[in-house]
Amino acid sequence: MMKCVLTAFAVLAFTSVARGQQPIEMKKSKPGQAYGERIMTTTAKVTAVDQTNRSLTVKEKDGTTETFKVSDDVKRLNEIAPGDTIVVKFHQGLMLQVTPPDGAQPAAAVTTGKAGKDQPPGAMATAAVQGTVTVSAVDLTSRIVVLQTPSGEMFKVKASPQIQIDRLKAGDKLFGTYTETVAISVEKAKGSPPKTN
């Protein structure tokens, strides 16, 4: 939903594969409001590191290879080597409600953090976005609801049996709050000691 740009971590590019999994299942939290969450993990093997140009090449589980620039905000790049595994864990949360809370305005926020010196190289970012989404389609049989963000991005949610989706129709507006926390860590390849400066 509402795409969050975690600018500190270009290294997140390969999580798009994991994002394409099943829709978030929404459960009724109170009248007129539903909440859903999921936690996913994806990994990629480091095949090359270019310290000078700050680029990283990884190979995903499906064999896809990607090279991307690593932001200056990601420290200790020199400790990452071919053979290491990058592990990305992300927690997604979504709240949808018929009426926005009093005084609610569309908003976005991003916070970041880095791994400590005694931990493997890594980083964490949390992003939150609020705004109005439009119901694009409702499938009463599968209980899948297709929603569209103001930017035109489409995403699906699955309504639990407690949610009365028979009242929803294309064109209805819902107020959404989406949060995502992404944690990246590097698992060192066996026999490859950490590099020092």
- Tell me if 168 is assigned to some domain: yes
pLDDT at 101: 65
Q: How many CB atoms lie within 10 A of CB 76?
A: 18
- Tell me if 81 is assigned to some domain: yes
Cα four-point dihedral sign 165, 169, 173, 178: positive
- Tell me if 20 is assigned to some domain: yes
- Tell me if 191 is assigned to some domain: no
- Tell me if 166 is assigned to some domain: yes
**d(C-alpha 7, C-alpha 123), whole Å:** 12
Q: How many CB atoms lie within 10 A of CB 43?
A: 15
- Tell me if 170 is assigned to some domain: yes
Backbone angles phi, psi at 89, to 5 degrees: -115, 130
Query: How many domains is the chain partitioned into structurally?
Result: 1
Q: How many CB atoms lie within 10 A of CB 118?
A: 5
Specify the pTM.
0.66
State the residue range of the domain holding 36: 10-186
pLDDT at 51: 87
pLDDT mean by block of 10 residues, the chain; 197 residues: 28 38 83 88 87 85 80 75 84 84 57 59 75 92 91 88 90 88 74 48
What the block records as the tokens of 30 is 């109170």
- Tell me if 194 is assigned to some domain: no
